[in-house]
Structure 1
């Protein structure tokens, strides 16, 4: 795949993590500014997840009907305008609504991103490309909290959303100038009225659904960490807000390195092989994290070791689950990508909300939700493999 196209797809895939991670260091500040607590500020994160989950269901059929470019350009423009609205928010309620709309726009890039890769690549090549995109989008969790913490101290929390507005505008220009239409000209245009029927078909396709749920539970564990880590790092263990990004970024670095290793691994055994094995490592790290959090250590470092393992192994789980789910979807790749993303972020929204609901002044709620997600991911992976064997599915 040409480097310029890969960079554009990487920017599109970064909409989600960048819009999430950039403002994490500002949670305590936003709580003070809007005279509330961190748990209520976390609702703006849950609203973003809900917007990602719902919006993708709309963009999928649009991308199959009208091509990849037009829905994408409309979505990126909406993201940019909503980012500006976030910067001007006079209240937490305004911010929550603006974040929801921001997600409705930003999710276009995530849907079209996966559909474009499916248009151009076979399952093994798709897993490699998704792993390469992890390198680009993985920079967002490293750089965004660092930049967000710096901007917070220099220019205030509004500057964070002003930068997201600028990023959206630049991405819109990149798509308009350099992203070609990848939906084949002779592909049948899927009628919009058939969207619900296509979603019903996909929900009855257990290899697709099982891989989507496995990846979705992995994403949910990651966003439980994203929702809980500002309190755990900054409030509970006293890490300065401007240093939060260094800890957050170290985990993201592990994610990037493992994703690049995955590009080499899938050429030897295929994405399904590594997906089924890595979920067990994810569970082991989750159990260790829960045990340490239950002991309520006086220092942060014991929690950081299993957290690093949980986040790093997502570099294998996420690209391989996406590649396995998207394999064989053909001209309906837009709808499949939409449902895949909707399931992932719907589960993630629930996980983020659960971390907030269980808040007890310790790291235990975050650890419990991560561990539960890992256990359910193992269960889904095992059921998917069982279903593949019964149906004679190749299993990729």
Structure 2
């Protein structure tokens, strides 16, 4: 009902686009701009970092209900509390990083957040492999998920600095990529059923390796630019 009210309000107040304005939209220039963006490593790497961190979030959202309730016998209520705590963690971490970004370089923050996320991945894999206690898994999930809302915006900001055309094209490409990548990978965590965690562990392990590799490449690229 609320969504319907908002839709009616927006539709009634939003000015109509004139035919002249519609004619000005040149889709070939949009595609060309996308192509030029995808040729710039300084744009692609932050875009990939942003997209890969959403793989962590989407795969967690898909796998955690089965892992916690089927393998660790958590009740739906307990799972809801865990999910809510991690949600609060996402908010808190993003606010803390928003304060730190004025004091630390964005790439330094990105490295720190990636390290935290990779530590979370290592703990998740160890916990699920050796069936460690539930509290270890909860900490691992927290470390793995909470940096997402900070890595995403930091990657977005760094990529937007390298745009070649209108900022709308760059931002739409960034937004599209992160949700396509995350949405495509999320269903794969359940390939072997709800009691088998190996697909989830493989996905987050590969994602962690890619995140670290991209950080190293990006750091070397920035260092080379500063030397030049």
Q: TM-score, normalised by structure 1?
A: 0.50
What corresponds to 1:203 in structure 2?
A: 38
What corresponds to 1:246 in structure 2?
A: 81
| Structure 2 residue matching 1:193: 3-state secondary structure | helix
- Tell me the CA shift for residue 316 of structure 1: 2.4
Structure 1 residues 28-58: Cα deviation after superposition (integer angstroms, max 9, x where no partner): xxxxxxxxxxxxxxxxxxxxxxxxxxxxxxx
- Counterpart of 1:233 (choices 68, 74, 78) is 68
| Structure 2 residue matching 1:204: 3-state secondary structure | coil
CA distance in 2: counterparts of 1:217 and 1:302, whole angstroms: 24
What corresponds to 1:319 in structure 2?
A: 153
- Tell me the CA shift for residue 176 of structure 1: 5.4
- Counterpart of 1:336 (choices 150, 170, 178) is 170
- Counterpart of 1:194 (choices 24, 29, 48) is 29
Going from structure 1 to structure 2, the CA distance change for 1:321 and 1:232 (only over 3 Å counts) comes to same
Kindly indicate whether structure 1 or structure 2 has the higher relative contact order, using CA contacts under 8 Å at least 6 residues apart.
2
Q: Given that residues 67 and 194 in structure 2 are in contact (C-alpha distance below 8 angstroms), is that contact kept between their aligned partners in structure 1?
A: no
- 1:39-50 map, 5 Å: none
- Tell me the CA shift for residue 240 of structure 1: 2.9
Going from structure 1 to structure 2, the CA distance change for 1:300 and 1:207 (only over 3 Å counts) comes to same
| Structure 1 residue matching 2:166: 3-state secondary structure | helix
Going from structure 1 to structure 2, the CA distance change for 1:255 and 1:193 (only over 3 Å counts) comes to same
What corresponds to 2:21 in structure 1?
A: none
Aligned residues: 220
- Counterpart of 1:379 (choices 208, 213, 222) is 213
User: Is residue 2:110 matched to residue 1:265?
Assistant: no
Going from structure 1 to structure 2, the CA distance change for 1:168 and 1:301 (only over 3 Å counts) comes to same
What residue ranges of structure 2 are gaps of 5+ in the alignment? 16-23
Going from structure 1 to structure 2, the CA distance change for 1:323 and 1:362 (only over 3 Å counts) comes to same
Q: Given that residues 214 and 378 in structure 1 are in contact (C-alpha distance below 8 angstroms), is that contact kept between their aligned partners in structure 2?
A: no
- Tell me the CA shift for residue 346 of structure 1: 2.4
What corresponds to 1:306 in structure 2?
A: 140
CA distance in 2: counterparts of 1:389 and 1:284, whole angstroms: 25
Going from structure 1 to structure 2, the CA distance change for 1:236 and 1:301 (only over 3 Å counts) comes to same
CA distance in 2: counterparts of 1:245 and 1:282, whole angstroms: 22
Superposed CA RMSD: 2.7
Q: TM-score, normalised by structure 2?
A: 0.83
What residue ranges of structure 1 are gaps of 5+ in the alignment? 1-165, 181-188
